[in-house]
Chain A
């Protein structure tokens, strides 16, 4: 097991700017942060503060314009597109606001999808998908299509999918944004439970009640970290 105080990931003077027409937009401006292994963070801020840009970089979907980003001890700045994919596949798990399940696949196949890309055999991945479905309380819905499930159920499938390759870090982008308060609570309790089992969780949200599940808060404004609580 990794030492308790090790970083799950770390940002070093990360900036990200886009060119929009003639203007250069600074979405992130010299951000430095460390996220300890097993921590549970809520990333907050008004819209346009740079939350999504930050999450994209944390999730290795985007690269910093300048500065460096480490996942564990690995500097991702130098990695190729394939290596980034590999990193996302093995070490990161995504949970999106609108669930983003694949409509043509049933629950079990959606959960097993990351294992498909990791080339894990059918038998093993089926077994693991069933375990994960059981973990999120959906073992009786394995053959259902996403459109046959409620929002809360869909999000639980998404969580199960994020766990498929047993990643270190879960990245959640407004995971309860499309859910009512009751199902929101279920999903957040699930995330809290996973955090208790050692997963690092980085969650973007603007709801205080949801942020309350996290142990730490990172508040962004104008592409900078305003304060850390």
Chain B
């Protein structure tokens, strides 16, 4: 009851000196505003990263073939080299059979080849895999169907295109049922899918935009296991059985153990370090760690800006106490206790800092919105950041209001009354 009246009185006193109060608040406004805005940008960035990682599946482990440093122990045959490295069909088998914690193992072969329809041509990324691939990697279906078990078993000449490939090759044509030439073979288009997110991702790259998916069995029959790459005068031949193995782990808590076990297994069978393990969950943890550090940096900046804002407020409140010395004397003569004077000035300061914080929130919400609209950088204003900022601005008011308020209360009423 008393508090409500004192808050009202505080508000009134602030409105009495509107311009001065506003100027005093500015420190808090910009302090809180920048904190909320920075948190929003940080939150947006980390949410973006987390989404990208989650797209890979937090239960998944991705094993990728990597060309070892010595070029894969190439056998010299004149000007052509044959490099042999990477994951083997045997590895996929071992993974499938040797681990209780693994529920799905999906072998993948990837190479680049020209895809052509009539006059339209495109250097596509041909991805050969089992139908289960589509259950591990998110590819929303836009038209037709995805690859089925029968396609795989019978080695059918069918492909699923990404939206980008379909649009470029089949301009103005009905995609489903069209024929696409890849290398020397033709394939029937059975489906069109959306390829991940449009934003570039550090994990998968833009390549996925130009994917052509076909059953792994078909791919091996039609193209074999040998990849020939022409480079500056020489031909380089690579023998890579599998470019990627996607593994799905039964439980998220088993991901770490499983990834260690896979590493141990691969290390036993591979003399060369020709593979690389990607664990989205580990990336996720790393991203969270990064976010945590970012928040510490932000917190320090916030603390400094709020300190500056608080000092500004204290400065004005000290001036206000001096200016209102006589008023304090009058209030004391009438019968106000020291505690009542302290609380009056303290509440006034808290009202001031919290109003500043409130205006800062408006700024802190408006700024990220502007940033998002103008640059496309994603931002997320969280409720907790708003509550936290408002709470902190109240605390700033208490901390920096205490000294001026106590000084006001300590004034001797007789001297204060005589003060001009």
Tell me the A residues contacting B by CB distance below 8 Å. 56, 59, 61-62, 81-82, 85-90, 92, 94, 96, 100-104, 113-114, 116-119, 121-122, 161, 165
Partner of B334, one of A82, A104, A119, A161: A161
Asked whether A82 lies within 8 Å of B337 as measured between CB atoms, the reply is yes
State how many angstroms separate the Cβ of B346 from the closest Cβ of chain A.
16
Asked whether A104 lies within 8 Å of B326 as measured between CB atoms, the reply is no
| B-chain residues with CB within 8 Å of residue A116 when the two chains form the complex | 5
State how many angstroms separate the Cβ of A209 from the closest Cβ of chain B.
26
| B-chain residues with CB within 8 Å of residue A89 when the two chains form the complex | 334-336
State how many angstroms separate the Cβ of A37 from the closest Cβ of chain B.
20
11 contacts between A and B (CB under 8 A): A59-B333, A61-B413, A88-B335, A89-B335, A100-B330, A101-B330, A102-B327, A113-B331, A117-B334, A121-B1, A122-B5
Answer whether residue B12 sits at the interface, using C-beta atoms and an 8 A cutoff. yes
Residues of chain B at interface, number, CB under 8 A: 23
Given A82-B337, A82-B338, 11 further pairs, Cβ under 8 A: A59-B333, A61-B413, A61-B417, A62-B414, A86-B337, A88-B333, A94-B334, A100-B329, A100-B333, A104-B13, A117-B331
Closest B residue by C-beta to A171: B333
Q: Helix, strand, loop or mixed for chain B's interface? A: helix
> Nearest 3 A-B pairs (CB), nearest first?
A89-B335, A88-B335, A85-B337
| A-chain residues with CB within 8 Å of residue B327 when the two chains form the complex | 102-103
| B-chain residues with CB within 8 Å of residue A119 when the two chains form the complex | 1-2
Asked whether B417 lies within 8 Å of A100 as measured between CB atoms, the reply is yes
Asked whether A90 lies within 8 Å of B333 as measured between CB atoms, the reply is no
A59 to B333 alpha-carbon distance, docked (Å): 8
With known contacts A100-B417, A102-B327, A61–B337 Cβ distance under 8 A: no
Asked whether B334 lies within 8 Å of A61 as measured between CB atoms, the reply is no
Answer whether residue B340 sits at the interface, using C-beta atoms and an 8 A cutoff. yes
| B-chain residues with CB within 8 Å of residue A103 when the two chains form the complex | 327
| A-chain residues with CB within 8 Å of residue B413 when the two chains form the complex | 61
State how many angstroms separate the Cβ of B13 from the closest Cβ of chain A.
6
Closest B residue by C-beta to A93: B334
A100 to B326 alpha-carbon distance, docked (Å): 8
Asked whether B337 lies within 8 Å of A90 as measured between CB atoms, the reply is no
State how many angstroms separate the Cβ of B409 from the closest Cβ of chain A.
10
A39 to B166 alpha-carbon distance, docked (Å): 107
A132 to B2 alpha-carbon distance, docked (Å): 23
- Within 341-395 of B, Cβ neighbours of A (below 8 Å) are at none
Closest A residue by C-beta to B333: A94
Closest A residue by C-beta to B413: A61
Asked whether B12 lies within 8 Å of A104 as measured between CB atoms, the reply is yes
| A-chain residues with CB within 8 Å of residue B5 when the two chains form the complex | 116, 122
| B-chain residues with CB within 8 Å of residue A90 when the two chains form the complex | 335
Asked whether A114 lies within 8 Å of B335 as measured between CB atoms, the reply is yes
Closest B residue by C-beta to A88: B335
Asked whether B12 lies within 8 Å of A85 as measured between CB atoms, the reply is no
What sequence of 0s and 1s flags, for each residue 257-277 of chain B, a beta carbon within 8 Å of any chain A beta carbon? 000000000000000000000
Closest A residue by C-beta to B336: A117
Asked whether B333 lies within 8 Å of A81 as measured between CB atoms, the reply is no
Answer whether residue B16 sits at the interface, using C-beta atoms and an 8 A cutoff. yes
Partner of B337, one of A81, A101, A121, A165: A81
Partner of A82, one of B1, B331, B339, B414: B339
What sequence of 0s and 1s flags, for each residue 7-19 of chain B, a beta carbon within 8 Å of any chain A beta carbon? 0000011001000
Closest A residue by C-beta to B420: A98
| A-chain residues with CB within 8 Å of residue B335 when the two chains form the complex | 85-90, 92, 114, 117-118, 165
Answer whether residue B109 sits at the interface, using C-beta atoms and an 8 A cutoff. no
Asked whether B334 lies within 8 Å of A113 as measured between CB atoms, the reply is yes
| A-chain residues with CB within 8 Å of residue B13 when the two chains form the complex | 104
A82, A104, A119, A121 pick with most chain B CB within 10 angstroms: A104
Closest A residue by C-beta to B327: A102
| B-chain residues with CB within 8 Å of residue A117 when the two chains form the complex | 331, 334-337, 340
Closest B residue by C-beta to A117: B336
Closest B residue by C-beta to A80: B337
Closest B residue by C-beta to A90: B335
Answer whether residue B67 sits at the interface, using C-beta atoms and an 8 A cutoff. no
State how many angstroms separate the Cβ of A124 from the closest Cβ of chain B.
12
| A-chain residues with CB within 8 Å of residue B336 when the two chains form the complex | 85, 89, 117
State how many angstroms separate the Cβ of B366 from the closest Cβ of chain A.
33
B13, B337, B339 pick with most chain A CB within 10 angstroms: B337
State how many angstroms separate the Cβ of B17 from the closest Cβ of chain A.
9
| A-chain residues with CB within 8 Å of residue B1 when the two chains form the complex | 119, 121
State how many angstroms separate the Cβ of A168 from the closest Cβ of chain B.
14
Answer whether residue B125 sits at the interface, using C-beta atoms and an 8 A cutoff. no
- Within 310-330 of B, Cβ neighbours of A (below 8 Å) are at 326-327, 329-330
B329, B331, B335, B339 pick with most chain A CB within 10 angstroms: B335
State how many angstroms separate the Cβ of B333 from the closest Cβ of chain A.
5
Asked whether A96 lies within 8 Å of B417 as measured between CB atoms, the reply is yes
State how many angstroms separate the Cβ of B82 from the closest Cβ of chain A.
92
State how many angstroms separate the Cβ of A202 from the closest Cβ of chain B.
15
